[in-house]
Amino acid sequence: MTAMVLGLLGGLAVFVYGMHTMGEGLQKVAGDRLRRLLEVVTSNRVLAVVVGALVTSIIQSSSATTVMVVGFVNARLLSLTQAAGVIMGANIGTTVTAQMVAFKLTDLALPSITLGVSLRLFARRRWYRHLGDVFLGFGFLFMGLGLMTTSMRPLRDMEWFVRAKLALVANPLLGVLTGFVLTSLVQSSSATIGLLQALAMQGLVGIDVALPLLFGDNIGTTVTALLSSIGASRNARRAALVHLLFNTVGTVIFLLMLPLVTWAVVRTSADPARQIANAHTMFNLVNTCIQLPFIGALVALAHRLVPGMDEGIERGLKHVDRRLLETPAVAVGQAGKEIARMGALAAETLSDAMEGFFRNDSRLIKKAYEKEEVVNELERDLTDFLAELARRALTDEQAARVTQFLNTINDVERVGDHAENVAELAEYKIEHDLPFSPMAIGELRYMFGEVHSAFVRALEALERGDTRLAREVVRQEDVIDRIEKELRANHIRRLNEGTCFPASGIIFLDIISNLERVGDHAAQMADSVLEET
């Protein structure tokens, strides 16, 4: 008994590891195509289903895809309606694993592992090493299947197992509950369905036992996304709930038609393992066809079950979400968008601080302080996100991009700090009613215009990877340095002529010094773009 349990658990572990390795390898081979694939999802429901199926075929896990979708909804990359279509497609895509298992390619396990290891060790090109992961995972998947199949042979003669089968046949709901619990524990419907197929290969279970368990597996796979949505936005929680509702409704429909479903599945193949794979595919295809026209009703029900509106969040990350770490290509792209948002906020902070200075407007200065606080929070959160992303399996290009991002967010945060310094100087000017000549104000406006333009263009160059624009920013920084020296000389001349109030002069010098430092950070950001080429 002990040997059987250890063999079963070991085989299941190898199976899951193989599935995970193969999925990661396929994802790396696909590269940025996965991100671009997700970006084409529109309100077209059928397209969303197709994308969900394709992505899950690559990742080899509907749970992983749905968790990713929850992350996309939380990061506002997908709407809830789009997410619902992708989730339906993910359920179809996950059936690919079961269909592969039904081919009984156990004899190919060792050759596949050998090929995978050879590519991992000796291939020079990264793409071939990633392909090695695919073959390695494929081999481990079927090796695990073989271990499970062999270890379960003694079950045939065990009385408790025979009684359990009779109970499941007599009470399909018990089968659904069992499948739900098993998949909730394993966190993979592909693994538990693979286990069912291994049992079927030994003649230990038939389709009458397997079908209710399979339905329960499909409900159990939703637990991963439900747990992942805890603490996320309302829409993200609704996306996880849509997955639960979709599979639960499908299970109810199929249970009500269980005799007809059994009749149809038996006629698809004489092989019990293939019958289970076909039943899994049939369940998700038919369920999608039935519920796809009612996707609006599913979304509306999710809204009723999770009521309320998502507050307009001013703070925190909007474009990235920790769930995206499972998909590095997408995570890198979204991090770029978050940095662009952070940079725009830093530019607004500087504008508010300077306009508060020019207009003696305390309200604008207060807004500058609030925005600078958010910039600081984004810098901390983004640094944590990128540091964790850097520990994932990244391509060389993605790793270089992450390093560039880390340097950039430091520059952007420093711009926010200089903007805060300007706000403090503006506040001091207002409190002490310090006078500034029209000439001094005009000079500050001129320098601020150049600095603000350089910073905004540096952000644009970074986002687009525009080397021409980056070179212009570097040249513009030289102009800013000359302006700073010229204004400093003009100030000293006014001071000597007695036309400048000394306390105001100190403020003037501090402001041009902070503006010059902003120009330096813009140039550093532009340099990072040039270094990438």
pLDDT digit string, tens, across residues 159-184: 666 677 667 767 889 989 998 988 88
What's 426's domain CATH number?
A: 1.20.58.220
Contact 266, 275 (CB under 8 A): yes
> What pLDDT shows up at residue 42?
56
Answer yes or no: is 318 within a domain: no
Distance CA 236, CA 83 (A): 9
Same-domain pairing of 46 and 186: yes
**From 26-40, 126-140, 234-248, the region with the lowest mean pLDDT:** 26-40
> What pLDDT shows up at residue 260?
94
Same-domain pairing of 150 and 282: yes
Number of domains in the chain: 2
Residue 76's pLDDT band, with cuts at 50, 70 and 90, is low
Contact 89, 51 (CB under 8 A): yes
Same-domain pairing of 274 and 357: no
Percent of the chain whose pLDDT exceeds 90: 32
- Burial (CB < 10 A; 0-12, 13-18, 19+), residue 150, is middle
> What pLDDT shows up at residue 504?
82
Same-domain pairing of 54 and 87: yes
> What pLDDT shows up at residue 311?
46
> What pLDDT shows up at residue 354?
94
Average pLDDT, the chain: 85
Same-domain pairing of 283 and 143: yes
Answer yes or no: is 319 within a domain: no
Token digits of residue 362: 């305390």
Token digits of residue 527: 């340099």
Answer yes or no: is 322 within a domain: no
> What pLDDT shows up at residue 313?
38
> What pLDDT shows up at residue 312?
40
Same-domain pairing of 53 and 194: yes
Token digits of residue 499: 């036309």
The closest of 41, 61, 36 to 326, measured between CA atoms, is: 61
Same-domain pairing of 284 and 332: no
Who contacts 188 (Cβ-Cβ below 8 Å, separation ≥6)?
A: 16, 19, 61, 63, 221
Answer yes or no: is 312 within a domain: no
Answer yes or no: is 281 within a domain: yes
pLDDT at 498 exceeding the cut of 50: yes
Same-domain pairing of 128 and 274: yes
Distance CA 53, CA 192 (A): 20
Answer yes or no: is 393 within a domain: yes
Question: Hey, what amino acid is at 252?
Answer: V
Residue 288's pLDDT band, with cuts at 50, 70 and 90, is very high
Residue 289's pLDDT band, with cuts at 50, 70 and 90, is very high
Q: Please give, one letter per residue, the 3-state secondary structure of 243-264.
A: HHHHHHHHHHHHHHCHHHHHHH
Cα angle vertex 500, ends 499, 502, to 5°? 140
Answer yes or no: is 191 within a domain: yes
> What pLDDT shows up at residue 418?
94
Answer yes or no: is 31 within a domain: yes
Residue found under tokens 């420093």:
414
Length in residues, the chain: 533
If you average pLDDT over residues 264-278, what whole number do you get? 91
Write the pLDDT tens digit of every residue in 120-152. Answer: 888 888 888 888 988 998 888 888 877 887 777
Same-domain pairing of 340 and 204: no
Who contacts 112 (Cβ-Cβ below 8 Å, separation ≥6)?
A: 135, 136, 138, 139, 142
Same-domain pairing of 299 and 340: no
Residue numbers of the domain that contains 89: 2-305
Same-domain pairing of 339 and 229: no
Same-domain pairing of 165 and 30: yes
